[in-house]
């Protein structure tokens, strides 16, 4: 390669980095604003100025809030908002990774059955290991195992002799999702009647019951998965040209595929273990990000993580306020947005 060619590549890389940095900083600013607004909105409306003061001081000062208001803000709403952010970032990042790797804009954890696989793993942990503190780590571990297993099965079913096509991938996802839904129904029958309602609500997406351990697991998984996939964004860009072309250009296709599948399964497993199946986030957010900033995965993946966090926080705020003091499952809100977009993508071809 000539010196001029190397110089052009360096300039292009710097330009991409600056553009990604600007986009991500704008999304971070929007995320902070949404977190603050969501913290004061709810069945119990909190004073804005005092809540803002309490958030920035970390609760070291009451800032004029009553003890009950302080508990609502710092012990209930803020952990839930952080959980919503980690779930949204995880699912959107996983969706962006699946879509780039499989070269299919319809690939996402919920439609491919990956979320149901993680849900089955979580339910097995809950049914056979219980919910006590000593076995709580079984939930994310079993969710990860379920996500990996369903990912492998869907990919093998769709691969076939003629390669993977969007139609075969969606069909394989429908088959696996249907089978896993039956497994979920079977596992539900093993529970006592008092737990069935709460588990049904959890399966539709529930951000109200996660413990501090699961919240920490979700945040760590979201950060680690987003960084790992971003580091392989250039390889994913080349894989979007086709596996054979990417291999000719120096991409270790099998290694990148394994890393993306494992990272995406980790992200889905962590989010489902703490919140249940929140559908269509991995479809809606990466698609809107690509429409806004282009198809370069070096920008799409980190932007999708931040936009996914924004999306689920907004959806959860709607879910807990629209019929307050009762709540809707957050998955119902994301489905209301995601299903029409899915139909639009299918009709667009």
Task: Say what the pTM is.
Answer: 0.88
Residues of the chain with pLDDT under 50: 4-6
Domain ranges of the chain: 103-348
Q: What pLDDT is stored for residue 96 in this prediction?
A: 93
User: Of the candidates 126, 127, 101, which has an alpha carbon nearest to the alpha carbon of residue 114?
Assistant: 101
Q: Where are the beta strands (DSSP E) in 74-217?
A: none
Bond preceding residue 325 cis, omega within 30 of 0:
yes
Instruction: Assign domain 103-348 to a CATH class.
Output: mainly alpha
Cα angle 80-93-235, degrees, rounded to a multiple of 5: 160
pLDDT digits (tens, 9 = 90+) for 89-112: 999 999 999 888 888 777 888 878
For position 128, what pLDDT does the model report? 77
Burial class (CB in 10 A: 0-12, 13-18, 19+), 315: buried
Two structure tokens written together for 7: 């110089």
The CA-CA-CA angle for residues 205, 207, 209, to 5°, reads 115
pLDDT digits (tens, 9 = 90+) for 137-175: 788 888 888 988 998 888 788 776 666 666 677 788 888
Between CA 169 and CA 208 the distance in angstroms is 33
pLDDT of residue 315: 92
* DSSP per-residue letters across 38-52: HHH-SSSPPPHHHHH
pLDDT at 173: 84
């Amino acid at each position: 390669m000539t010196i001029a060619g190397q110089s052009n590549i360096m300039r292009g890389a710097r330009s991409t980095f600056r553009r990604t940095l600007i986009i991500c900083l704008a999304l971070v600013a929007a995320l902070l604003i949404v977190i603050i607004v969501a913290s004061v909105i709810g069945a119990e409306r909190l004073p804005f100025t005092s809540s803002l003061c309490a958030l920035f001081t970390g609760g070291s000062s009451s800032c004029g809030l009553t003890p009950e208001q302080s508990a609502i803000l710092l012990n209930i709403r803020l952990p839930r908002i952080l959980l919503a952010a980690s779930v949204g970032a995880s699912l959107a990042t996983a969706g962006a990774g699946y879509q780039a790797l499989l070269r299919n804009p319809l690939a996402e954890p919920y439609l491919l059955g990956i979320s149901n696989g993680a849900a089955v793993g979580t339910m097995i942990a809950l049914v056979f290991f219980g919910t006590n503190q000593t076995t709580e780590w079984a939930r994310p571990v079993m969710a990860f195992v379920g996500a990996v297993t369903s990912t492998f099965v869907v990919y093998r079913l769709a691969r076939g002799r003629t390669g993977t096509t969007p139609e075969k991938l969606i069909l394989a996802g429908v088959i696996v999702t249907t089978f896993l839904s039956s497994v979920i129904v079977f596992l539900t029958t093993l529970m006592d009647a008092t737990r069935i309602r709460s588990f049904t609500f959890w399966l539709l997406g529930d951000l109200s019951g996660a413990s501090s351990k699961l919240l920490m697991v979700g945040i760590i998984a979201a950060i680690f998965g987003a960084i790992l996939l971003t580091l392989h964004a250039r390889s994913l860009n080349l894989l979007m040209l086709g596996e054979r072309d990417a291999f000719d250009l120096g991409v270790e296709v099998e290694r990148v595929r394994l890393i993306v599948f494992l990272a995406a399964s980790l992200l889905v497993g962590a989010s489902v273990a703490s919140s249940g199946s929140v559908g269509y986030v991995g479809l809606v957010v990466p698609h809107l990000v690509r429409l806004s900033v282009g198809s370069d995965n070096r920008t799409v993946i980190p932007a999708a993580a931040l936009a996914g966090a924004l999306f689920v926080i907004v959806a959860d705020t709607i879910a807990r306020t629209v019929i307050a003091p009762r709540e809707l499952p957050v998955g119902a809100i994301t489905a209301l947005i995601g299903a029409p977009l899915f139909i639009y993508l299918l009709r667009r071809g």
